[in-house]
Amino acid sequence: MKKEVKELAERIAEKEGKEVDEVIDTIKEKEKEYSGLISFEGAAHIVAKDCGLELIDDDSTSLKIENVVSGMNSATVAAKIESIFGPREFKTDKGEGKVANLILKDETGTIRFSLWNEEVDKLIEEEKIVVGDTIMIENGYVTEDNRGQPEIRLGRSGKLKETDVEIDVEISPGGSSPDGYTRTYIEDLTPGENTEIRGTVVNVFGDSPFYKKCPECDKKVEGDKCEEHDEVQVNMALSIVVDDGTDSIRSVFFRDEVEKLLGIDTEEAWEMTEEGKNMDEFVDLCEELIGNEIIIQGRVKINDFFGRPEVIANTSEEVDLKKEVKKVLKSM
């Protein structure tokens, strides 16, 4: 366990009047609750926030990007600005506005940071912050963007300032795409980054795709229904292995993306397999993917069980050769 995490657990224990071991167990439960999408360190930060422990003024307790997840209400993050897109103006039924999207980067990955209206005027148009600056976001909140990935916003209580915190990353001249995805060879993937890979499906693990969650609290359900809300929803998760000639990697797809990948919705699959009791037809359907060339956009993380990187897929599509040719010509 890292020294910083142990010290944070001791601070939580002192505030809550608990034993340190009890706090560590709570942190482990929180890590498990997020299904491995955050590290033990990230889970410790969430537990600290949940119990009202003030972390904002302590630069050493700022979150690494790999540990930022949707739903956080007071996240402190230090990162370099890799790209700035916008500002652009928009109109809705409620009026007009401006938005600018920034891609932030640290040693663990990248994340989108959105600025709105007065924030755009003050920070972007007056060039108070530019690409290459290292900034500290204090008390920001984290929502889910249109790609299902975490996105940081300031909100009413958030603050942004320049910082002397050392962020040991290089900022590439071209930066990232507006969505934060960069086409990368599998052998060059880095945990924590948003990435786009192109490769051939060489294996599919379709023998155990179903799991149950409560639609109210979003927690996994082990029995027939959630004990607290008396509800349950069947979901699918599917792992495939993709090879691009430099290396291969496992990619994990969830509900909507599994449905799109297989061309069948979850309810149909549940019925097809007799509620998971007869998997033969479903496995055959999955194996039809082998040999297909696809493009996957998602986030790279370390699988805690196997200790190796994998891609959590946000979206995928079959390779469109015309698009690929245009992309190559544009980069020349």
List, for residues 102-128, the tens digit of each pLDDT value.
889 998 888 889 999 888 888 887 778
Give the model's confidence band at 282: pLDDT under 50 very low, under 70 low, under 90 confident, else very high: very high
pLDDT for residue 51: 76
In the chain, where do the E strands start and end?
75-92, 95-106, 109-116, 134-144, 150-153, 159-162, 182-183, 194-205, 210-213, 233-243, 248-254, 293-303, 308-318
CATH code assigned to 58-173: 2.40.50.140
CA-CA-CA-CA torsion for 126, 169, 2, 74, nearest 10 degrees? Answer: 20
Q: How confident is the model over 159-188, as a mean pLDDT?
A: 76
pLDDT 10s digits, 8-33 = 788 888 888 888 888 888 888 877 77
State the DSSP code for 90: E
pLDDT at residue 287 is higher than 90: yes
pLDDT at residue 311 is higher than 90: yes
Judge whether 58-173 and 182-331 match in fold. Answer: yes
Cα distance between residue 56 and residue 167, in whole Å? 18
Rg (alpha carbons) of the chain, rounded to whole number: 21
Structure tokens at 283: 């496995």
Give the model's confidence band at 58: pLDDT under 50 very low, under 70 low, under 90 confident, else very high: very low
Cα distance between residue 78 and residue 160, in whole Å? 10
Give the model's confidence band at 178: pLDDT under 50 very low, under 70 low, under 90 confident, else very high: low
pLDDT at residue 161 is higher than 60: yes
Query: What count of other Cβ atoms lies within 10 Å of the Cβ of residue 21?
Result: 10
Mapping DSSP to helix (H, G, I), strand (E, B) and coil, where does residue 221 land? coil
In CATH terms, is domain 182-331 a member of 2.40.50.140? yes
Mean pLDDT across the chain: 83
Q: In sequence order, which residues have a C-beta less than 8 Å from that of residue 81 and are 6 or more positions away? A: 102, 103, 104, 105, 129, 130, 131, 132, 133, 134, 135, 171
Spans of all domains in the chain: 1-53, 58-173, 182-331
pLDDT for residue 59: 47
Which of 51-55, 249-253, 324-328 is most confident?
Answer: 249-253
pLDDT at residue 163 is higher than 60: yes
